Each structure stands twice: as structure tokens, then as C-alpha cells.
Amino acid sequence: MPINRPDSSALQAIAANYGLTMSTSDMEQYRIATHGALDAWDAVEAAHEKIASPPPDRVWNKPASKDNPWGAWYVTTEIQERAEGPLAGVRVAVKDNTSVAGVPMMNGSATLEGFTPSRDATVVSRLLDAGAIITGKSVCEDLCMSGGSHSSRTGAVRNPWDPTRSSGGSSSGSGVLVATGGADLAISGDQGGSIRIPAAWLGLVGHKPTWGLVPYTGAMPVEQSVDHLGPTARTVVEAARMLTVIAGPDGLDPRQPRAWERIDYESELRRGSRGLRVGVVTEGFGHPDSDPAVDETVRAGVRRLTSAGLLVEEVSIPWHLMAPALFAVIACEGGLTQLVEGNAFGANWKGRYDEDLIAFYGAQWRRSPDQFPEGVKLAMLSGRYARDVDFGRHYAMARNLERTLAAAYDEALSRYDVLVMPTSPVSATPLPGPDASVLELLARGSEQLVNTSAFDVTGHPACSVPAGMLDGLPVGMMVVGKQFDDATVLRVAQAAERELGGFQSPPTNKETA
């Protein structure tokens, strides 16, 4: 469809927005020139229509409440393209920020409700090629902007260990479905801790890969520099097997390296972990809002790693305490620029854009901006104010300081093979009530990210593995490694899993849901 041509009043409004002053005569000439320039837009659309393909016809259903007791499914389906492969017959849930062609995608938000993608995300194509069965889309938090599980427009995702508590976010549904057996594995996403927090609060393994290791193509971005996809699993072996399938460049994602040596992460686990050096990060414990019992649960778990032959020492990284501030600036200003003003995909990068999602979401959120969740509204207000008064200066400073932060971890990792700390400073928190204030909703979505967000900023691989139980709730230990050395991270995570007991099934009686 040809793009509508603007009249003079529309152009005057644009000029006024930029502070341009034009005479009536000049504006008329710009109107004529603009109409001619927009011929190129029509030509691009006509050419694109020739290469576009309709979405496949795939059957899906919205499950009834009785079949969705934890609120973890958005839609269910059953898609299998091969009966053979390393994931043959494995049931995989896909976080609903990630495209499955022909199946609705809501990203937890009213701003995307009604959208159906026409192409599979790269990770989905790779899973299908490996024999996996895509069994549905898991509920995620509204535009992935919460570390709690209360913000999705489909309703809260409840924790099967205690239905009054959060399951963690934003990959809340992915975690609950794997924990309760609704799926064998799940694709999850992480921009501030969203793979690892649900894993910690549900007693699972959640691996945030090195930034760029797994293609983000086909998932809805938040901020290109912190976007990650990765596996949620019950065991480290299962996480490693999925990572082997989904990792590696696809040529469509500028986050990824051009060259990469293929690694079988499951085979790497057979090397064991004896003799590996573990640095226990002092600053990962004792935050102002930390639960001392969570800290002690993780420290007790770390002490037991010596039984597996690992060498454990305390290490101080003072820059770790600066990481949450860097993340806040990058997430607010960067999220405003890309997720809101850039209609999720932004501009100025080479790769595959989802033109349909951009148009659908861009139009829908502008019809009713009040639909945005509290976290996005905070980014809009604080990020826009900072941009208006300082024009992105603080974002630039945060990006420059990112290198200093990464260097601090790299220096420690030159002496240790991995670093460890609590995944979350607290165990699963109570779900906010229906009358919760804005401040409470924001707090329940961000208080758990104080350790995890650092490694979305720097891109280091980080895996949450069960560290034990505390008052009937799981506690997670986070293992962090060198860039693209995900294999060593998983080897140490497996050692922790063996020493500390690993995944335990939560009570899943539907009557308690």
C-alpha cells in the first residue's frame, strides 16, 4: 500500500517539533520535494512484498484455566518438523517474546496483543531442526520489563513452591513450565536477569550465554546491547544440550561474532571440574536488601564445592557495586530509545528486522500509551528527562564505564576460572496485591537484579544453579565465566548440581494453585 503523502499542516507540525522555522513558500516547496522523496518508500514496499511469505498454518489453543493452574501458558501448540536429532521428542516451551510463525505472540503486553509473526526465530528453527517439539508460548512479563512475575497482562505467574509468591521474571512462564513438567526445556530471555531469576526462585538451571553467542533474531528486543536468549532446564546436561543446538552465528544478528568455533557443550561437561579455581565475589553478598540467610545458603554451598576438588577463594571486585547504576542508565535511556521510540527494533544496525511487528506495535502503543507497564513508564520518564537535559551524555558515560566494569571482572577471571555469588539476594518474594502502589510494583520487579544485571551489561556468561532450600523456597547460586567460555561455567554449575542436590520437584497439586 503506498505511503500516505503529508499535507502542509503535517509537515509544519514536524518542523515545529524540531524547532524549525519555515516560510509558507519554503514549506510548499518542501511539501513537493517530500512527495517525490516518498516514491522511494513505495518502491521499497513493492519490492519487499515480492519476497514476503505468509505465516504457516499452525494449530494453537489458549488453554483453559484448569489446564493452566500457574498461569504459565499463553498459548499451546504442537509443532515438530523432524523425528530425529539431538532433541528428538523433547518438549520445548518458547518465551512469548520470541517468534513462532503462525502462533500468536503477545510479549506479555496489551501493546502486542493480536499479533501473529510470519517467521520463526532462529532459535526456534534450530530447535525444530534438532527434532524438538514446540509445545507452546510461555507467559512473560509485560515487554520483559520486570524481574517479578506480576506484570503480564494475562495475569500473574505463580510460584509452585508457594502460589502466593513470585516465580521471578521476566521468563516467568518458561521457568514454571519446566519446574512443573509442562515442558522439558524452555527458551528464555535475559536483559537484566530474566533467565536466571526464575531459575533461582524455582530451583532450576538457567543459563544466560555470552552476549552474542545465541542469535537474538526473531525475538522482540528491549535494548540491543543487553538482549540475550538462552536455555531453562532442570539439569545442567539438558541446558548444555540445548545450548549446543541454538548457539552460533546466523548472519542476521549484529550482536554476534562473524566467526565462531562450534562447541559441543554437553561433551565439554565430561571434562569435569576438578582443579578449577573459583572466586567467591565478596561484593555479591551483603547488599542493603540482601537476606543474610540467602547469603549463608550460597556460602555453605560454595564451601561444599571443595569436596568436588575445586579450589575456592574469596575475591573482591569493588566495581561490582557500580554495575546496577550502569544497568539502570543503559536500560532506561537505551530502552526508551529502542523499545519505545524505536518501536523495539530501532535503526542503524544490519540484520533482520520484523517489519510487521514494528508496524503493529508502533501503532498499538501510540493508540493507548497508558497500556505500558510501570517499568516502561519509568524508563520513559527518567530516560526522556535525562535525554532532554543532557542529550544522552550519561548514557555515553555508562557505555564507556562498561569497559571498566568488564575489565574488573576480566582481571579477576585471569586468576580464577569462574566467579560465584548469589543469583538473587532474596528468595521468592510475595506477589503484589491488587491495590499495590506504583513504588511497590517497581520494587517487586527490580530488587532481585542487583547481581544479575551486571552481566547483561558486560556480556559475560552466567548460569544460575540450585544452591539449596531456605524455608521451603529454592535459592540460586550464580556461576560467571570468561567471555565465550560458557563451557567452563557449565562444568562448575554441574559440580554444584552434584554436590548440592540439583533440581527438586515442587508441589504441583492443582488444588494448591
Provide the grid cell at 161. 513452591
Provide the grid cell at 327. 544497568
Rounded alpha-carbon distances, angstroms, from residue 356 to 125, 335, 405, 488:
19, 20, 37, 40
CA atoms 84, 89, 95, 99: torsion sign? positive
**Residue 410: enclosing H or E segment and its boundaries?**
helix 393-413
Q: Order across the sheet with 418-422: list the strands.
A: 60-61, 73-79, 133-138, 91-95, 185-190, 228-233, 205-208, 462-470, 473-481, 418-422, 277-281, 311-315
Q: Is 166 a catalytic residue?
A: no
Sole residue written with cell 568455533: 261
Catalytic residue among 138, 170, 172, 464: 170
Among 147, 370, 470, CA closest to 157? 147
Which residues contact residue 101 at a Cβ distance below 8 angstroms, ignoring those fewer than 6 apart? 55, 56, 58, 117, 118, 119, 120, 124
In single-letter form, the type of residue at position 374 comes to E
Q: What CA–CA distance (Å, rounded) separates 222 from 227?
A: 7
Q: What CA–CA distance (Å, rounded) separates 321 from 160?
A: 32
Q: Is 482 a catalytic residue?
A: no
Q: How does 284-297 read in b/e, with b if 16+ C-beta sit within 10 Å?
A: bbebeebbeebbeb
Provide the grid cell at 190. 535475559
Q: Where are the alpha helices (DSSP H) in 253-392?
A: 265-268, 292-304, 323-329, 335, 355-367, 374-390
Q: Is 174 a catalytic residue?
A: no
Residue-wise DSSP of 428-467:
PPBPPPTT--HHHHHHHHHGGGTTTTHHHHH---EEEEEE
- For the chain, the residue count is 513
Residue-wise DSSP of 109-141:
STTTTT---SS--HHHHHHHHTT-EEEEEE---
Catalytic residue among 194, 424, 446, 453: 194
Q: What CA–CA distance (Å, rounded) separates 168 from 202?
A: 8
Phi, psi of 468 (to 5 degrees): 145, -175
Q: What CA–CA distance (Å, rounded) separates 457 from 358?
A: 25
Sole residue written with cell 549484529: 254
User: Helices 486-500 and 292-304, interaxial angle, to 10°?
Assistant: 100
Catalytic center residues: 95, 170, 194
